[in-house]
Copies of this chain bind each other. A is one copy, B any other.
């Protein structure tokens, strides 16, 4: 059993407000003390002066196995990008590639304060191995499409059996890729699988206007209605993107408590548009933040994502009061943890899992601090993270990676793309 006390540190507390000069104790995998007084008895004491302790970020929509495609294809029309570059490259990926790419993504994420991902891809065993080794939390899913549905049904059965006793950091989810790559039968079948195993569902939803137009033409309903009427939302669902929701869609998402994982960078970069997150927040929908893959971002820095989450509604809707720093931090942490079914994560409160990141405020670009939430959302960048901890275990501190052989992983990636 290990234990650690963060001393005299500024924290973003469970109400997402700033508290200065606090003490936060961690024993084994839980937070067991939050208070204004020193408490003795911890193995390690951490000097928190000019540092800020936040809940570790939850990346609510990721494709971590795509790390090798970072910056591979840029400034191309979507169809060329997909069919001439992304799909051909992806068709060459092996289990080993997926495993190392996942580790590379996780290395980046933990160096930037992220502790957990909701991750959709293929080759579940390779993904699971990377999760279990890295110390990161991840809800992983395999993405059902017209092309792979039958094979995936079998793979899912094996996955649920194989990982049913796995460390709780790893959770298996079911994924249906999108309306335009599925059939109603696929949605029904995979929703049944999710119900059967009591797991979450992860989907792409209304990412582009064309998706909505095509769905209406083919099925006479919006993508949200398509999923709903085929039984998808009976299990907790994370819906990525949601750029083109109609009013009725928002009511459905709210009714079923579907989480919207907005991906502001990716939606701009692929020219999809801008998700109206203020409207979703006002409607009471759980809004989390995702990076999408590095092929359309091209990094996994949740600070950058938070800043864009805060800026876009202001600039697009011409109202500087929209989306507060507290709403940004909540979306990047607690909202994502809730979407993953991890109710004891994503907030600094006694009894919760010790999923934490320390931000070093002692830098020119973070000086002075008038209000630490403003500083975190508008001024900080990924590299300001000094320490990242998941389930009480330090994964990263001051440039050192404790669970990932980062030199080996970078070497693999460099060597691999030379053969691409």
| B315 and A381 contact, CB distance less than 8 A | no
Question: Restricting to A245-290, which residues have a CB under 8 Å from any CB of B?
Answer: 265, 267-274
Chain B residue with Cβ nearest A378: B298
Give complex CA distance A31, B324 in Å.
Answer: 47
Q: A321 at the A/B interface (Cβ < 8 Å)?
A: yes
Residues 9-32 of chain A, each 1 if its beta carbon lies under 8 Å from chain B, else 0: 000000000000000000000000
- Min CB–CB distance A370 → chain B (angstroms): 5
Give complex CA distance A92, B77 in Å.
Answer: 52
Give complex CA distance A74, B382 in Å.
Answer: 21
Question: Given the known A-B contacts A304-B304, A364-B108, A382-B381, are A70 and B370 also in contact in the complex, defined by CB atoms under 8 Å?
Answer: yes
Chain B residue with Cβ nearest A101: B368
Q: A196 at the A/B interface (Cβ < 8 Å)?
A: no
Report which of B70, B265, B367 forms a contact with A104, defined as CB distance below 8 A: B367
User: Which of A125-133, A165-173, A387-395, A407-415 lies at the binding interface?
Assistant: A407-415
Question: Which residues in B have their C-beta under 8 angstroms from that of A363?
Answer: 108, 111
Question: Given the known A-B contacts A74-B325, A320-B76, A367-B70, are A314 and B269 also in contact in the complex, defined by CB atoms under 8 Å?
Answer: yes
- Min CB–CB distance A317 → chain B (angstroms): 8
Report which of B316, B365, B383 forms a contact with A300, defined as CB distance below 8 A: B365
Report which of B74, B77, B410 forms a contact with A374, defined as CB distance below 8 A: B74
Chain B residue with Cβ nearest A106: B364
| B299 and A75 contact, CB distance less than 8 A | no
| B71 and A409 contact, CB distance less than 8 A | no
Question: Restricting to A321-371, which residues have a CB under 8 Å from any CB of B?
Answer: 321-325, 362-365, 367-371
Give complex CA distance A316, B314 in Å.
Answer: 14
| A311 and B265 contact, CB distance less than 8 A | yes
Residues 288-325 of chain A, each 1 if its beta carbon lies under 8 Å from chain B, else 0: 00000010011111001001101110111111111111
Question: Which residues in B have their C-beta under 8 angstroms from that of A365?
Answer: 108, 111-112, 299-301, 382
| A368 and B406 contact, CB distance less than 8 A | no
Question: Which residues in B have their C-beta under 8 angstroms from that of A318?
Answer: 271-273
| B362 and A410 contact, CB distance less than 8 A | yes
How many copies of the polypeptide does the oligomer hold? 2
Give complex CA distance A381, B271 in Å.
Answer: 22
Q: A68 at the A/B interface (Cβ < 8 Å)?
A: yes
Give complex CA distance A311, B315 in Å.
Answer: 14
- Min CB–CB distance A149 → chain B (angstroms): 29
Question: Which residues in B have their C-beta under 8 angstroms from that of A414?
Answer: 367-368
Question: Which residues in B have their C-beta under 8 angstroms from that of A370?
Answer: 70-72, 417
Q: A3 at the A/B interface (Cβ < 8 Å)?
A: no
- Min CB–CB distance A32 → chain B (angstroms): 32
Report which of B78, B268, B383 forms a contact with A311, defined as CB distance below 8 A: B268
- Min CB–CB distance A359 → chain B (angstroms): 13
| A325 and B367 contact, CB distance less than 8 A | no
Q: A178 at the A/B interface (Cβ < 8 Å)?
A: no
Q: Residues on A close to B: CB < 8 A?
A: 67-68, 70-72, 74-78, 81, 104-105, 107-108, 111-112, 265, 267-274, 294, 297-301, 304, 307-308, 310-312, 314-325, 362-365, 367-371, 374-375, 378-379, 381-384, 406, 409-410, 413-414, 416-417
Besides A269-B314, A273-B315, 16 more A-B contacts (Cβ < 8 Å) are: A70-B367, A72-B370, A74-B371, A265-B307, A267-B315, A268-B312, A271-B318, A274-B316, A294-B379, A298-B374, A299-B365, A299-B378, A304-B304, A364-B409, A365-B382, A383-B384
6 pairs from A and B in contact (CB 8 Å cutoff): A71-B374, A75-B321, A269-B314, A271-B318, A298-B375, A308-B308
